């Protein structure tokens, strides 16, 4: 599948004609993934040993720019070879003598991006700085007014915006760009979404130092290593009140089954990957695409396992059987709450019985079922937390994730969140790992934390869950060995679930 793959060692040609008809020269570009805050306030950040994800958007843009003839480097501040601290990471970026530095930031990493940009501008003022990602896309122009170290913002999808900027297209003609003209901040028309994701080259994974073995999947989520994360679609047709859709907006686009298969085979053959976590919001939305993909995977026998997600009520026997034959290990289900009233608010039309049936069907086909929940949402009470905890145990899940609700700037609930409780808008803490919002039914953030820790421990202390876990010890051997090698960091993480003073 030649058109999908990024050629090795692409030649860089000066004075290359661009799609806009403007002559350009090859630019030296450094794309940066800032670290931000990735754990509980006041606690040790164990991201680097527990769950180090590939910055998929960054390496996709890198491949796109390289195909356009630019010289591209990637620097992941959370990568296995990255130093600690803003100063040290900025120095590594400056060592490349970049013409353009692109920073892709979440809400919790945006201030890191600003500080890196400020250091770059202070030492190499001619370097252009541009920030994209979900936080920039959600807030837009006010960020450029506030932070002088950023020259541009890229709103929405980044590949074409970055290519046009690097090619020398005038800022006024670049969709999705926020820029300065004298003292005025200007916002261009929204970026048109790429119509065909299959036209994109495979992401430039090799530009990540230490990939793949330095990119650790979440503990107990895999049986083979090395592994990495993968995206095969963009967008979501739903508009949940808590979900930020600022980058890809409402709608759904996906790679074809053939492209996805070739992408997975490329990762297996080029990098030796044996497990992929597919992080699509709606992986199984196009049922025909998934059945075709599963058929190709089952026939090819790549020696590759994967995890994916399904929506409650959209996991029939034919689909689950196909996923099992294709090498699927675990399926995540977005459940959010075990309280009927809360569930109706969070996932209209979804019932607890439907959740039970979906989880049972997944496990009936020999697949692991992981439940995804949120705590501390609008309208939450201590009683609804208790009901959710009871429901989690009732389901007999193989794994679960309980995130701390965060009202992100691009989510529909953000505009009215202060009407429903207290909100500490500290961007560095807004990472779904800290309670920045406290619903009215709770006295304090400390009360929420105490309940959260209690119910996470309750799940992993459940005798039935521990019995299932013991039966899979051999499958978990890679995780257990990794934890043993990094025991101090994991013990520090475990302490966060202990009562204060213990």
Is residue 157 domain-shared with residue 246, that is, in the same domain?
no
**In-domain check, residue 289:** yes
Contacts of 316 (CB under 8 A, 6+ apart): 361
Of 142, 167, 187, the residue at which a domain comes to its end is 187
Please tell me the number of Cα atoms within 13 Å of 308 on its side-chain side: 24
Of 167, 187, 207, the residue at which a domain comes to its end is 187
Task: Output the pLDDT for position 41.
Answer: 61
Is residue 179 domain-shared with residue 231, that is, in the same domain?
no
- As for how many domains the chain has, the answer is 2
Say how many C-beta atoms besides its own lie within 10 A of residue 14's C-beta.
9
Q: CA–CA separation, 49 vs 62, rounded Å? A: 25
Is residue 183 domain-shared with residue 246, that is, in the same domain?
no
Is residue 275 domain-shared with residue 338, that is, in the same domain?
yes
**Which domain covers residue 127, as residue numbers?**
16-187
Look up the CATH number of the domain holding residue 121: 3.40.50.280
Q: CA–CA separation, 366 vs 327, rounded Å? A: 11
**In-domain check, residue 133:** yes
Burial class (CB in 10 A: 0-12, 13-18, 19+), 249: middle
**In-domain check, residue 204:** no
Say how many C-beta atoms besides its own lie within 10 A of residue 469's C-beta.
16
Write out the two tokens for 436: 């920045």
Is residue 93 domain-shared with residue 241, that is, in the same domain?
no
**In-domain check, residue 351:** yes
Q: Where are the beta strands (DSSP E) in 360-406?
A: 368-375, 399-404
Is residue 178 domain-shared with residue 271, that is, in the same domain?
no
**In-domain check, residue 103:** yes
pLDDT tens per residue across all 502 residues of the chain: 333 343 333 333 333 334 444 445 799 999 999 998 766 665 555 556 667 889 999 999 999 999 999 999 999 999 998 999 999 999 999 999 999 999 999 999 999 999 999 999 999 999 999 999 999 999 999 999 999 999 999 999 999 999 999 999 999 999 999 999 988 999 999 999 999 999 999 999 999 999 999 998 888 898 999 999 999 999 887 767 677 766 766 778 999 999 999 999 999 999 999 999 999 988 988 899 999 999 999 999 999 999 999 999 888 999 999 999 999 999 999 999 999 999 988 887 899 999 999 999 999 999 999 999 999 999 999 999 999 999 999 999 999 999 999 999 988 889 999 999 999 999 999 999 999 999 999 999 999 999 999 999 999 999 999 999 999 988 888 888 877 877 676 666 566 656 554 4
CB 355 within 8 A of CB 373: no
**In-domain check, residue 315:** yes
Is residue 382 domain-shared with residue 235, that is, in the same domain?
yes
**In-domain check, residue 8:** no
Is residue 394 domain-shared with residue 469, that is, in the same domain?
yes
Task: Output the pLDDT for position 243.
Answer: 77
Of 187, 208, 236, the residue at which a domain comes to its end is 187
Is residue 100 domain-shared with residue 151, that is, in the same domain?
yes
Write out the two tokens for 155: 């709103």
Indicate whether this model's pTM tops 0.85.
Answer: yes
Is residue 389 domain-shared with residue 455, that is, in the same domain?
yes
Q: CA–CA separation, 335 vs 90, rounded Å? A: 40
Look up the CATH number of the domain holding residue 371: 3.80.30.20
Is residue 221 domain-shared with residue 312, that is, in the same domain?
yes
Say how many C-beta atoms besides its own lie within 10 A of residue 413's C-beta.
19
Is residue 140 domain-shared with residue 221, that is, in the same domain?
no
**In-domain check, residue 3:** no
> In terms of Cα–Cα distance, which of 101, 126, 22, 1 is closest to 68?
22
């Amino acid at each position: 599948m030649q058109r999908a793959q990024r050629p090795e060692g692409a030649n860089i040609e000066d004075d290359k004609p661009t799609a806009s008809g403007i002559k350009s020269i090859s630019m030296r570009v450094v794309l940066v993934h800032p670290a931000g805050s990735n754990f509980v306030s006041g606690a040790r950040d164990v991201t680097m040993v527990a769950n180090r994800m590939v910055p998929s958007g960054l390496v996709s843009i890198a491949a796109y720019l390289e195909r356009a003839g630019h010289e591209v480097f990637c620097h992941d501040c959370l990568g296995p070879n990255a130093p600690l601290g803003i100063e040290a990471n900025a120095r590594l970026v400056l060592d490349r003598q970049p013409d353009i530095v692109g920073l892709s930031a979440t809400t919790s990493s945006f201030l890191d991006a600003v500080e890196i940009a400020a250091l770059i501008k202070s030492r190499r003022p001619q370097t252009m700085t541009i920030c994209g990602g979900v936080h920039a896309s959600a807030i837009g122009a006010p960020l450029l007014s506030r932070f002088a170290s950023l020259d541009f913002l890229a709103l929405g999808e980044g590949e074409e915006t970055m290519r046009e900027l690097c090619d020398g297209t005038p800022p006024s003609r670049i969709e999705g760009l926020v820029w300065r003209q004298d003292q005025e901040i200007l916002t261009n028309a929204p970026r048109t979404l790429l119509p065909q994701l299959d036209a994109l080259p495979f992401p430039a994974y090799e530009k990540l130092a230490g990939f793949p073995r330095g990119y650790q999947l979440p503990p107990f989520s895999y049986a083979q290593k090395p592994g990495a994360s993968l995206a095969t679609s963009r967008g979501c047709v739903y508009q949940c009140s808590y979900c930020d859709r600022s980058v890809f907006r409402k709608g759904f686009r996906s790679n074809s089954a053939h492209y996805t298969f070739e992408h997975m085979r490329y990762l297996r053959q080029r990098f030796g990957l044996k497990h992929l976590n597919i992080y699509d919001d709606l992986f199984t939305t196009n049922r025909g695409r998934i059945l075709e993909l599963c058929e190709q995977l089952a026939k090819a026998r790549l020696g590759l396992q994967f995890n994916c997600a399904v929506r409650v009520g959209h996991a029939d026997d034919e689909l689950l059987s196909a996923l099992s034959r294709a090498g699927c290990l675990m399926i995540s289900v977005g459940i959010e709450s075990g309280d009927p009233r809360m569930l109706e608010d969070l996932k209209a039309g979804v019932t607890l019985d439907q959740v039970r049936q979906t989880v049972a069907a997944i496990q009936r086909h020999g697949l692991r079922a992981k439940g995804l929940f949120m705590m501390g949402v609008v309208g939450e009470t201590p009683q609804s937390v208790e009901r959710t905890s009871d429901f989690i145990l009732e389901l007999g899940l193989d794994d679960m994730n309980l995130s701390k609700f965060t009202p992100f700037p691009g989510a529909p609930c953000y505009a009215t969140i202060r009407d429903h409780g207290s909100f500490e808008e500290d961007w560095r803490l807004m990472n779904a790992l800290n309670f920045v919002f406290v619903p009215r039914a709770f006295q304090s953030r400390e009360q929420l934390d105490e309940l959260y820790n209690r119910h996470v421990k309750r799940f992993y202390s459940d005798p039935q869950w521990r019995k299932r876990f013991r039966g899979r010890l051999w499958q978990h051997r890679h995780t257990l060995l990794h934890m043993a090698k990094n025991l101090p960091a994991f013990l520090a993480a475990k302490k966060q679930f202990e009562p204060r003073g213990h």
